[in-house]
Structure 1
Amino acid sequence: MLLRKRAWDMMREEFATVSESASLAEAIRVLRESMKETPENSIIVVLKKNGNPRGVVSVWTLLKAIQDGVFKDEELSLTENVDWDEAFKRAGVLCADEPLEKYIDENFTMFRPTDPMLVVLELIRKKRQPWALVQEGGKVIGVVIVSDIYQELTRDLV
């Protein structure tokens, strides 16, 4: 049975998306909402205007963007005269207004829905990427997360 599993058996059809023109704030909002439904969802698929995938933004990339933009602000220094709430708010607004453009990972793994699970596992393992996209007809129809592969594998092994 394990050898018959395909990418479509593991993919999530519900996943977060934003357009390539989105801001960092919009991406953060979309991922937060998606994680309310599915806490292990850790990526946003970035779509071109024609609906084809441009790339992916991961939660790690968003955390790095927040760290770079917010926690390295000159106003947030360890002095006694800092209004922390105001400084953090200002830094957060500046960070969130940035375009998402520079945070998009365009090096993503793409599978067809009929690709065997072992092929999916091998490529994800080799690339050390915890997710992959499933595409059909030029459109993303699903996302495979490494934890989904693990669940499928262990379901049949145990």
Structure 2
Amino acid sequence: MLYRKRAWDIMRSEFPMVNEDASIGDVVKAIESNSSIYPDNDCALVSDKDGKLMGAVSMWNIVKAMGPELLKSSSRSKGEESFEKAFQLACQLGAQAGIRKIIQKDVPRIRPNDTLARIMEVFLDYRQGRAVVEEGGKVMGVVMLSDVYREIVSNI
């Protein structure tokens, strides 16, 4: 199993993609629109103006970027109703921010014919829950940790 299954067997060929000029709100919309196909997807890939992969922006990157401002706004508000308004305003303002500073550029890359064993090595080495499947500089798909987990569970 570890050497028979390949990246192309388990990769997701449909994935959210945004360009480098996108806002945090654009990334959120891209992830959410993909959630009907893959509810466990937690990131969007980012391409440059030429369509070349730059990296990814994950839910974690978004929360980390917006968190300080959201916490600051919540500490300033008095009362539940004003907290809700302050939180909503902070979310709306934060969603307008660009993503250039939060792009995760060290996204692991694998080839379509890489084995499940190789994919697991990459996940463990990078300590990340996703890898981009590339061939000839073209993004073919994404393998998520949940895809690998499903393969393991199906053999227990």
Identify whether the pair has TM-score above 0.5, normalized to the shorter chain: yes
Distance in 1 (CA, whole Å) between partners of 2:133 and 2:72 is 37
Alpha-carbon shift at residue 12 of structure 1 (Å): 0.5
* In the alignment, structure 1 residue 11 sits paired with structure 2 residue 8: no
Alpha-carbon shift at residue 89 of structure 1 (Å): 3.2
Where does structure 1 lack aligned partners over 5 or more consecutive residues?
none
Within-5 A mapping of 1:101-140? 101-140=100-139
Give the length in aligned residue pairs. Answer: 156
The one-letter amino acid paired with 2:140 is I
Change over 3 Å in CA distance of 1:136–1:54 after alignment to 2 = same
8 Å CA contact retained: 1:76, 1:87: no
Identity of aligned residues (%): 35
Q: Structure 1 residues 4-13 or 27-36, which shifts more?
A: 27-36
Q: Deviations over 1:46-105 (max 9, x none)?
A: 1111111100111111122232232323x7525349733432233223211111111100
Paired position in structure 2 for 1:29: 29
Paired position in structure 2 for 1:48: 48
Alpha-carbon shift at residue 154 of structure 1 (Å): 3.4
The one-letter amino acid paired with 1:51 is G
Q: Structure 1 residues 129-138 or 84-93, which shifts more?
A: 84-93
Where does structure 2 lack aligned partners over 5 or more consecutive residues?
none
Distance in 2 (CA, whole Å) between partners of 1:71 and 1:139 is 39
For the aligned residue pairs, the C-alpha RMSD in angstroms reads: 2.0
The one-letter amino acid paired with 1:130 is G
Paired position in structure 2 for 1:86: 85
Alpha-carbon shift at residue 36 of structure 1 (Å): 3.1
Distance in 1 (CA, whole Å) between partners of 2:135 and 2:115 is 15
Change over 3 Å in CA distance of 1:153–1:95 after alignment to 2 = same
8 Å CA contact retained: 2:132, 2:141: yes
SS in 2 for 1:83: helix
Moved over 4 A (4+): none
Distance in 2 (CA, whole Å) between partners of 1:119 and 1:146 is 13
Paired position in structure 2 for 1:151: 150
8 Å CA contact retained: 1:18, 1:30: yes
SS in 1 for 2:69: helix
Distance in 2 (CA, whole Å) between partners of 1:76 and 1:82 is 13
Change over 3 Å in CA distance of 1:26–1:69 after alignment to 2 = farther
